[in-house]
């Protein structure tokens, strides 16, 4: 049986979330999330997908295509199982668990096999 994960949010670092959300809102026509503020702003996408923009102090823009400043993003998935069961199955597949877990029991932060962080949350 395969693990069922649904993509629910994509969050981008930036220096000014309200400015960046305004750009993407104009570009996409998506609705501004009602809890958007200067630290985190979001757009409500199709099928419940949130595109988020979070403030990062001393933000450095990616220097793509070179990797002097790599591009990064954070992906969040809803899981059908409880978090412990889903985490165990993901660890079996090669995920890692960072020591820092900022969301308490609401979500788990994991890393993929090459170190990119992502969260799992329950439905």
pLDDT in tens, 90-113: 999 999 898 889 888 899 998 888
Tokens of 48: 């419940």
Q: What is the pTM of this model?
A: 0.70
| pLDDT of amino acid 85 | 93
Question: What's CA 28's distance to the chain center, in Å?
Answer: 19
Long-range contacts of 90-98 (CB under 8 A, 24+ apart): 90/3, 90/120, 93/3
Q: What is the pLDDT of residues 8-52, one digit of tens each?
A: 999 988 999 999 999 899 989 999 999 999 999 999 998 889 999
Element holding 24 (H helix, E strand): helix 17-28
């Amino acid at each position: 049986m395969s693990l069922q994960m649904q993509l629910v949010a994509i969050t981008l670092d930036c220096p000014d979330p309200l400015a960046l959300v305004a750009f993407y809102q104009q570009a996409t026509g998506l609705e501004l999330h009602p809890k958007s503020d200067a630290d985190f702003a979001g757009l409500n996408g199709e099928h419940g997908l949130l595109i988020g923009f979070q403030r990062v102090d001393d933000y450095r823009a990616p220097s793509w295509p070179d990797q002097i400043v790599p591009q990064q993003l954070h992906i969040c998935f809803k899981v059908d199982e409880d978090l412990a069961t889903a985490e165990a199955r993901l660890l079996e597949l090669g995920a890692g668990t960072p020591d820092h877990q900022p969301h308490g029991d609401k979500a788990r932060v994991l890393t993929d096999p090459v170190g990119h962080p992502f969260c799992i949350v329950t439905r």
